[in-house]
Amino acid sequence: MPESNKTRIFVTGATGYIGGSVLSALLSHPRAESFQITVLTRSAEKVELFNSVGVVAVVGSNQDLEKLTEHARDSDVVFACADADDLQAVKAILLGLKKRYGETNKVPILIHTSGTGILIDDAAGNYATDKIYSDLDIPMIESLPKTQPHREVDIEIVAAGETGYVRTYIILPSTIYGIADTSLVKLGIQNPYSIQIPGLIKASIKRKQGGVVGKGLNLWPNIHINDIATLYITVFDAAMKGPGGAGHGREGFYFGANGEHRVGRISEIIAELLYEMKVGKSPEPTVFTEEELQKYFGGPYLGSNSRVRAERAKLIGWNPVHAIDSLWASLKPETEAVAQIQNI
């Protein structure tokens, strides 16, 4: 296919857990030969590795605003998978997409990564909330204050999508679990580990005892890494069909979830596993102190509630296959992997 006829795709965060999984899914897409993919990477050493799989790699980061604008300007589709809270980076990407529209009169697409952390409360692990958000209930989402995590960036993106020069889609992953096992992981390009659960395991190892926030009663949704990758591709495929393919702009919110867990149950299982490994002193988790929460997590984030119904993407064909049993099954290999990294 002539280069001029290819769909030009720009991916940020391509060496990360989410971005790498999305890129891997794009590379194995049925129409992959019609894609011209460019990524941004901090590592000059990874440029040749990306090139080996047919991806153009540019050395840079979210702080290189001119590069973000330049490559967004040159793209039909941007997957922003780097930092959900980087407002300046998003503005730079939107500026490039606006220029793209001005030069081609074709509306480009932005698929941005947010997160269900936008819904967190101050439960501190001591209760479960009854409040559940649906991604079809836009007024409920719009009721969230600008001070919530990710919210300021999401508002900026929706506003841009409402102007008409770009079609915007916001994907909000929940607790992502599972060790990524993509072609990019095998090449040494992609980080295979999530943040939330491995962070809890790492903190528990460092304190030599499984830990829990408060009473561990708070609830979070969850999603397997492979299912979140298919969510991005489902939204991408629908978006490529045109403006009627999937909700966008104000109606462009897509929760990534297929199950719900009590966060304290994860703490309990980790405590049991570490005790069996002779790392923890007890199979029962002990409560993190406020100092520990600040030290290991930057605050009581893991004690919050975040409850969702992921309904919008299923209307356009998303079919996640990993249910809650997959989460529980993932905890042992995750714990063993983190312990190995920590030289335990």
pLDDT score for 3: 75
Q: Is 39 left (phi over 0), alpha (psi -120 to 50) or beta?
A: beta
> In the structure encoding, which two tokens stand for residue 324, read together?
């809650």
In whole angstroms, what is the distance from residue 63 CA to residue 254 CA? Answer: 27
pLDDT score for 344: 75
C-alpha distances (whole Å) from 214 to each of 117, 146, 168, 327 are 18, 27, 38, 22
In whole angstroms, what is the distance from residue 144 CA to residue 121 CA? Answer: 11
The residue among 301, 106, 286, 312 whose CA lies nearest residue 212 is 286
In whole angstroms, what is the distance from residue 213 CA to residue 218 CA? Answer: 9
pLDDT score for 342: 87
The residue among 134, 152, 174 whose CA lies nearest residue 311 is 134
Q: Which residues of the chain have pLDDT under 70?
A: none
Beta strand 35-41 with 109-113 is unpaired
pLDDT score for 343: 81
In whole angstroms, what is the distance from residue 226 CA to residue 261 CA? Answer: 18
Cβ–Cβ < 8 Å for 37, 11: yes
The structural domains of the chain, ordered by start, are 3-193+222-258 (3.40.50.720)
The residue among 251, 239, 249 whose CA lies nearest residue 7 is 239
Q: How big is the chain, counted in residues?
A: 344
CA dihedral 251, 252, 257, 260 (to 10 degrees): -40
pLDDT digits (tens, 9 = 90+) for 28-87: 999 999 999 999 999 999 999 999 999 999 999 999 999 999 999 999 999 999 999 999
Which residues face 24 on adjacent strands? none
Beta strands in 258-328 (DSSP E): 260-262, 286-287, 308-309
DSSP state of 289: P
Q: Give the type of residue at 292.
A: E
The residue among 227, 188, 197 whose CA lies nearest residue 318 is 227
> In the structure encoding, which two tokens stand for residue 339, read together?
């312990």
Q: Give the type of residue at 344.
A: I
